[in-house]
């Protein structure tokens, strides 16, 4: 990252001011809280109960190896659902109006292997500000050298096939997070434009809770069950592969589909629009009418509403999405949406192919044309 980025508020963000006023009026008229309601708490209890029940069933020793492996798979998915539905809202401060409750719920992130302190910096501060800006939004830097999402980056031979292997790589997202990503980010000099100077307590938290996670999901099964070390390792891998597939895919479908922009700041580091307009051009919804997606994905299928109103609990996104869409139309702004989960996957696939295979072919054609031009000039 070579420059600071600023948003130039050319129109005083009339769009966001209008949208926010209407959303505020929606809650005021209904005398409703922007935080969790009863359904949200029921969701939270459901996912926590499912997670701990699966964990205890595995430790019970009542089942064979294949059955336990299957439960480890589902356990990984439930870990992702806890992250989406509880931790994500809590770290944004939207689950409860009580900051102590939010902080307590955010600690569940440690349980699933992630660090809430680092997530707050890299996601809440950096990603939500510099969404889809290459070199600044680290959330789109999935696997440097393997996944190309930046049009300014030279495409290599391997990336020709990224549309074929990317979805498999997403399965490694959780493993990378648990074993590598948090450690790397913690000891970077900067995370995005945020100076990474951490309180001493966070050094302890990083290592203590990582070790605790390894102990709970590798050490305890080894102590309680009649398992070899490699069987416990396989269970741990399967759990995190399931978690990674769910997490990695959902985050990509929210920002890397057809229609979303990857804006490049000018030479002064300015993005020539207001922040809210930038969010509308870089963010997409998918499967908005699916009750299943809304229940399990913690509102992340309505990413537009989340990026504009991260302090509003995701349980309210279906209602306020009507307001956001209407206001976007009035201000002639895009409201990018894939109608189904499958259509979003197809769109993401086409983006990967365009930025990989098609870009490589164009790059080779341009290189050949330049060589021919030089040869003609020399002749």
Arithmetic mean of pLDDT, 136-143: 75
Span 197-228, pLDDT tens digits: 888 999 999 999 999 999 999 999 999 998 88
Which pLDDT does position 287 carry in this prediction?
A: 93
The percentage of residues in the chain with a pLDDT greater than 70, rounded to a whole number, is 96
Interatomic CA distance for residues 177 and 183, integer angstroms: 9
Kindly give the residue spans of alpha helices, DSSP state H, lying in 31-181.
38-60, 65-82, 88-92, 99-106, 108-111, 116-119, 162-170, 173-176
Span 87-127, pLDDT tens digits: 999 999 999 999 999 999 999 999 999 999 999 888 888 88
1 — pLDDT class (breaks 50, 70, 90): very low
Q: Is residue 60 helix, strand or coil?
A: helix
Which among 95, 75, 45 has a CA at the least distance from the CA of 299? 95
140 — pLDDT class (breaks 50, 70, 90): confident
Arithmetic mean of pLDDT, 311-316: 95
Which pLDDT does position 28 carry in this prediction?
A: 94
Under 8 Å CB-to-CB from 243, ≥6 apart: which residues? 76, 77, 79, 80, 112, 173, 174
309 — pLDDT class (breaks 50, 70, 90): very high
* Res 369 pLDDT > 90: no
User: Cβ(178)–Cβ(240) under 8 Å?
Assistant: yes
Interatomic CA distance for residues 86 and 96, integer angstroms: 10
Arithmetic mean of pLDDT, 171-196: 83
Query: Whole-number mean pLDDT of the chain?
Result: 88
Which pLDDT does position 10 carry in this prediction?
A: 57
Span 8-44, pLDDT tens digits: 765 557 899 999 999 999 999 999 999 999 999 999 9
Report CA-CA distances (Å) from 47 to 9, 173, 213, 255, 304: 41, 21, 18, 26, 24
Q: Is residue 149 helix, strand or coil?
A: coil
Which pLDDT does position 321 carry in this prediction?
A: 95
């Amino acid at each position: 990252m070579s420059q600071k980025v600023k948003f130039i508020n050319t129109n005083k963000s009339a769009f966001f001011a209008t949208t926010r006023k209407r959303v505020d009026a929606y809650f005021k008229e209904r005398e409703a809280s922007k935080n969790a309601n009863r359904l949200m708490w029921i969701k939270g209890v459901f996912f926590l109960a499912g997670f701990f029940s699966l964990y205890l069933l595995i430790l019970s020793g009542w089942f064979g190896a294949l059955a336990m492996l299957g439960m480890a798979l589902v356990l990984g998915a439930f870990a992702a659902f806890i992250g989406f539905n509880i931790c994500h809202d809590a770290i944004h401060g939207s689950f409860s109006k009580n900051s102590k409750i939010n902080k307590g719920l955010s600690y569940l992130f440690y349980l699933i292997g992630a660090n809430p302190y680092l997530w707050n910096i890299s996601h809440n501060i950096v990603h939500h500000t510099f969404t889809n800006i290459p070199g600044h939004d680290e959330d789109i830097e999935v696997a440097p050298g393997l996944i190309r999402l930046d049009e300014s980056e030279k495409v290599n031979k391997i990336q020709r096939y990224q549309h074929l292997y990317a979805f498999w790589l997403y399965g490694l997202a959780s493993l990378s997070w648990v074993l590598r990503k948090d450690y790397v980010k913690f000891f970077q000099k900067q995370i995005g434009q945020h100076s990474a100077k951490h309180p001493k307590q966070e050094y302890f938290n990083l290592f203590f809770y990582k070790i605790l996670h390894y102990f709970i999901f590798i050490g305890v099964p080894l102590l309680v069950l009649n398992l070899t070390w490699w069987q416990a390792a396989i269970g741990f891998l399967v759990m995190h592969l399931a978690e990674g597939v769910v997490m990695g895919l959902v985050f990509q479908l929210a920002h890397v589909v057809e229609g979303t922009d990857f804006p490049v700041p000018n030479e002064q580091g300015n993005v020539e629009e207001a922040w809210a307009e930038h969010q509308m051009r870089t963010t997409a919804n998918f499967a908005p009418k699916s009750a299943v997606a809304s229940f399990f994905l913690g509102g992340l299928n309505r990413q537009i509403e989340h990026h504009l109103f991260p302090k509003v609990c995701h349980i309210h996104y279906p209602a306020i999405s009507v307001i956001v869409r209407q206001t976007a139309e009035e201000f002639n702004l895009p409201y990018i949406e894939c109608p189904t989960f499958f259509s979003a996957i197809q769109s993401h696939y086409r983006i990967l192919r365009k930025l990989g295979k098609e870009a490589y072919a164009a790059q080779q054609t341009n290189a050949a044309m330049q060589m021919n031009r030089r040869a003609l000039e020399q002749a």
